[in-house]
């Protein structure tokens, strides 16, 4: 019943518009768009002719035991769909008789099976092609198809999963390379275009506008957000401005269903080119590192530490033997500047440091105990994160208490605990109540400082607590495992 009603409503609206036109009423509401408005709309035909020959289709293959015909018929683009946007393999299809079973291998040799599809674009006339790392990751064979239908087996030169950039090489010459644009000139609201192979449909053109710049969705990249229609298979294709220049690599979409919902993200081309140059030179990317765990500076933390605004990167922990430890950085420091550049938010720091050549001696400015401090640090080379160890429980000396004000029951650290945690002092949390529990403090945490003053023992902590202004929030620096972090609680009145 609902569908006919909806149909009737749509018809009546159409008739109303027609009757208004026939009666000559409210002509301004239905006048055609002015010629000036039409001239202002973009025409992408020349851009497609200019950039289209440089955009390629990429198919990947993997070696697998032979499967039955029905199972091996799964489309490559659907494999990409489930792998990229759900993070799981495509589920085994069902038949009327239940789940479809794979036939046993019976000693048959492995054969190449479709793995995924994506897009890419030609970087240089001698066959270097840029795409996303997730498009070629894990592939045993990469096939690149040009718009003129020539197909080449490609060699993976290198890929960087942290920025999702990869470079592959095909043996061809005289290829039409793209023009690289200037991302700094890109403006929100500017028209852009994408060319790619959504769902394996080659040479598909979509268009839209830049919705936002510097959108934080990753550790080492801030993305260009657009409303250009991007779907599985578009990954790795170019985002093109109205001058025919590539300004980004289409990489991600925001979706609840797996399909396009009006929000897509592209890797800025300047970052991608920087990565590609290292991949072409050495096959890998070198990144700088400090050896710190960082967090965002909240408003409460900024106020409690005397900062005029929420900026910088809060140091939660310092890795033993790292460049940060050697430079004298401490948990609780707030890094305000790196190489003279202000850190507005914590995600700025990994990008600045990551783009710094390992071995470089760099200037940093930190906020420590109410004042700024300038330091020098020698940037190390990035390596895999080390697992965090938990603090040893050991024995519990006689407990003290500050429960009435902070909601904590505490005790002294034993000598064995201090040695294992490499601490000079601190106070162990034995039990938690309000308001400390609301602030996220847990049993086993070690309190290192209260209101920016070190707490080497229970006596010092209780003395500081007695002097608190209970109408204001107070910061605590706590140690959990091998990492330290700030938290803010409001004392009970």
Q: Which residues contribute to the annotated binding site for substrate?
A: 134, 164, 233-235
CA 352, 358, 362, 367 dihedral sign is positive
Vertex 326: Cα angle to 323 and 329 (nearest 5): 85
Q: Could you tell me how many residues make up the chain? A: 493
* Numbered residues of the known binding site: 134, 164, 233-235
In DSSP terms, 124 is beta-bridged to none
CA-wise closest residue to 246 among 55, 42, 46, 49: 55
Burial class (CB in 10 A: 0-12, 13-18, 19+), 346: buried
DSSP per position, 222-281: EEEEE-S---TT-TTPEEE-TTSEEEEEEEEE--SSSS--S-EEEEEHHHHHHHHHHHHH
| CB-based contacts of 83, cutoff 8 Å, min separation 6 | 89, 90, 116
Rounded to the nearest 10°, the torsion over CA 78, 82, 83, 89 is -100
d(CA 318, CA 337): 17
> Which of 134, 211, 300, 445 is labelled catalytic?
134
Q: Is 126 a catalytic residue?
A: no
d(CA 343, CA 322): 21
> Which of 54, 119, 160, 164 is labelled catalytic?
164
Q: Is 257 a catalytic residue?
A: no
CA-wise closest residue to 330 among 367, 363, 299: 367
d(CA 407, CA 489): 10
Q: Is 469 a catalytic residue?
A: no
d(CA 363, CA 342): 12
Token pair for 220: 């080492």
From residue 137, give the alpha-carbon distance in Å to each of 147, 164, 192, 368, 385.
23, 10, 28, 43, 21
Q: Is the separation of the CB atoms in 470 and 449 below 8 Å? A: no
| CB-based contacts of 132, cutoff 8 Å, min separation 6 | 118, 164, 165, 166, 235, 236, 249, 251
> Which of 54, 119, 197, 235 is labelled catalytic?
235
Q: Could you count the other beta carbons within 10 Å of the beta carbon of residue 185?
A: 11
Q: Could you count the other beta carbons within 10 Å of the beta carbon of residue 40?
A: 9
| CB-based contacts of 287, cutoff 8 Å, min separation 6 | 162, 220, 353, 354, 355, 358, 381, 382
330-340 per-residue burial string, b: 16 or more CB within 10 A, e: under 16? bbbbbbbbbee
Q: Is the separation of the CB atoms in 272 and 153 below 8 Å? A: no
Known catalytic residues are 134, 164, 235
């Amino acid at each position: 019943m609902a569908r006919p009603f909806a149909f009737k409503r749509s018809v009546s609206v159409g008739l109303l518009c027609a009757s208004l036109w026939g009666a000559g009423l409210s002509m301004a509401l239905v006048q055609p768009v002015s010629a000036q408005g039409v001239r202002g709309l973009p025409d992408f035909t020349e851009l497609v002719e200019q950039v289209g020959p440089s955009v390629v289709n990429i198919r990947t293959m993997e070696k697998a035991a032979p499967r039955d015909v029905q199972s091996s018929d799964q489309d490559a683009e659907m494999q990409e769909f489930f792998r990229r946007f759900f993070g799981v393999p495509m589920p085994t299809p069902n038949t009327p008789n239940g789940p479809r079973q794979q036939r046993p291998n019976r000693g048959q040799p492995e054969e190449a099976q479709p793995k995924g599809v994506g897009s890419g674009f030609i970087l240089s006339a001698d066959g270097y092609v840029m795409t996303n790392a997730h498009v070629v990751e894990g592939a045993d064979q990469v096939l690149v198809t040009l718009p003129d239908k020539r197909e080449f087996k490609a060699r993976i030169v290198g890929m960087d999963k942290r920025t999702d950039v990869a470079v592959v090489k095909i043996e061809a010459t005289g290829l039409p390379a793209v023009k690289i644009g200037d991302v700094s000139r890109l403006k929100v609201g500017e028209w852009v275009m994408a060319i790619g192979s959504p769902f394996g449909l080659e040479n598909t053109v979509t268009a839209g506008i830049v919705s936002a710049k510097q959108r934080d969705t990753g550790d080492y990249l801030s993305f260009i957000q657009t409303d250009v229609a991007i779907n599985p298979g578009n990954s790795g294709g170019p985002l093109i401005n109205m001058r025919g220049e590539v300004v980004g690599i289409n990489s991600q979409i925001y979706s609840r269903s797996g399909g396009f919902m009006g929000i897509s993200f592209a890797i800025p081309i300047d970052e991608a080119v920087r990565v590609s140059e290292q991949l072409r030179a050495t096959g890998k990317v070198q990144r700088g590192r400090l050896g710190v765990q960082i967090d965002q500076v909240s408003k409460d933390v900024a106020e409690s530490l005397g900062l005029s605004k929420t900026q910088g990167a809060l140091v939660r922990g310092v890795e033993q033997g790292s460049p940060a430890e050697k430079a004298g950085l401490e948990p609780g420091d707030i890094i305000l500047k790196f190489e003279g550049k202000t850190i507005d938010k914590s995600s700025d720091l990994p990008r600045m440091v990551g783009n710094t050549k390992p071995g470089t001696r760099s200037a940093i400015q930190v906020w420590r105990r109410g004042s700024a401090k300038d330091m020098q640090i020698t940037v190390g080379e990035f390596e895999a994160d080390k697992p965090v160890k938990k603090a040893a429980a050991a024995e519990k000396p006689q407990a003290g208490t500050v429960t009435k004000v902070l909601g904590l029951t505490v005790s002294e650290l034993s000598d064995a605990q201090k040695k294992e945690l490499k601490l000079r002092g601190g106070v162990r949390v034995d039990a938690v109540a309000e308001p400390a529990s609301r602030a996220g403090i847990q049993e086993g945490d070690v309190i290192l400082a209260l209101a920016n003053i070190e707490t080497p023992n229970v006596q010092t902590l209780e003395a500081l607590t007695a002097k608190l202004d209970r109408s204001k929030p107070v910061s605590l620096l706590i140690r959990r495992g091998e990492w330290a972090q700030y938290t803010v609680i409001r004392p009970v009145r």
